[in-house]
Structure 1
Amino acid sequence: MSNGGIPHMSVELNHTIVHSLNDQESATFLAGLLGLEVGARTGPFIPVNTGNGVTLDYATVPAESITTQHYAFLVSDDVFDAAYARIQEEGITYYADPHRKIVGEINHNHGGRGIYFMDPSGHAMELITKPYGNAE
């Protein structure tokens, strides 16, 4: 598709706002599982920075304002192992599928490993070690 003569520039996701019941709890939950840092509050947001520079900015909102979203994280095998161990230690229910029907199992889609679980505000979280379409 033509860009209409607009000079080409890179496009990167910089940040997204994640509505939560409790911004500190949700930010701490994700950061703790993935070994990330919770940043200092900036206005109404508590940031969690990922390795590729994208920030999840958690914001506390009323429960009726939260729509379940899906967040997928591509992680190394070491991060997956550590997060999986934390999930098991904390008794977090996890699934091999996005429909949450295969409980307590890891999938091996796309030549890697993956799991799904819910965060404290009801968002669907996914950890994968290989990007989709990466058949080996």
Structure 2
Amino acid sequence: MSVELNHTIVAAKDKRESAEFLARILGLEVGAEMGPFLPVQTANGVTLDFATVPEEHITTQHYAFLISEAEFDAAFARIRQAGIPYWADPRRERPGQINRNDGGRGLYFMDPSDQAMEIITRPYGSGADPAA
């Protein structure tokens, strides 16, 4: 039996705001509300089910999305157009920059509920180290 990630719950201050934010940046659709969840499905079938929870119950998680070069260009343009802060690194020490890890491009940004989002064009460990 193969194992696949099917869905995960994303804690949000406002599920609609966070789901629409991510869908807009990634060029995806927000699905129909299902009980307490508002889903955003990725191309490989994984669904992020956004749920509104009390702010004190939100713990920042990291969500990384592998996208094509063209999708990166579009998402990066939407991030810049919206004035969303972004970083080249997860510690947010390189603001306003992108990284070139493994010969691709990547960046990190925060969603409205302070969830850490990342877009990359190459999986980690798949290419040349730019520092080498």
Superimposed CA distance per residue, residues 7-56 of structure 1 (whole angstroms, 9 cap, x where no aligned partner) = xx100000000000000000000000000000000000000000000000
> What TM-score, normalized to structure 1?
0.93
Structure 1 runs not aligned, ≥5 long: 1-8
State yes or no: 1:125 paired with 2:97.
Answer: no
Residue identity in the other structure for 2:17? E
State the percentage of identical aligned residues.
Answer: 67
Residue identity in the other structure for 2:75? A
Structure 1 moving runs of 4+ over 6 Å: none
State yes or no: 1:24 paired with 2:16.
Answer: yes
- Residue of structure 1 aligned with 2:91, choices 87, 91, 99: 99
Residue identity in the other structure for 1:85? A
State yes or no: 1:38 paired with 2:60.
Answer: no
State yes or no: 1:58 paired with 2:50.
Answer: yes
Cα drift, residue 59 of structure 1: 0.2
Distance 1:90 1:15 in 2: 28
- For the pair shown, the structure with the greater C-alpha radius of gyration is 1
Distance 2:48 2:106 in 1: 21
Cα drift, residue 135 of structure 1: 1.2
- Residue of structure 2 aligned with 1:85, choices 72, 77, 82: 77
Matched with 2:3 is 11
Which secondary structure does the structure 2 equivalent of 1:115 belong to?
strand
Residue identity in the other structure for 2:127? A
Residue identity in the other structure for 1:90? A
Distance 2:14 2:103 in 1: 36
Distance 1:78 1:27 in 2: 22
Matched with 2:126 is 134
Structure 2 runs not aligned, ≥5 long: none
RMSD of equivalent CA atoms: 0.5
Matched with 1:47 is 39
- Residue of structure 2 aligned with 1:114, choices 103, 106, 110: 106
> What TM-score, normalized to structure 2?
0.96
- Aligned residue pairs, count: 128
Residue identity in the other structure for 2:15? D
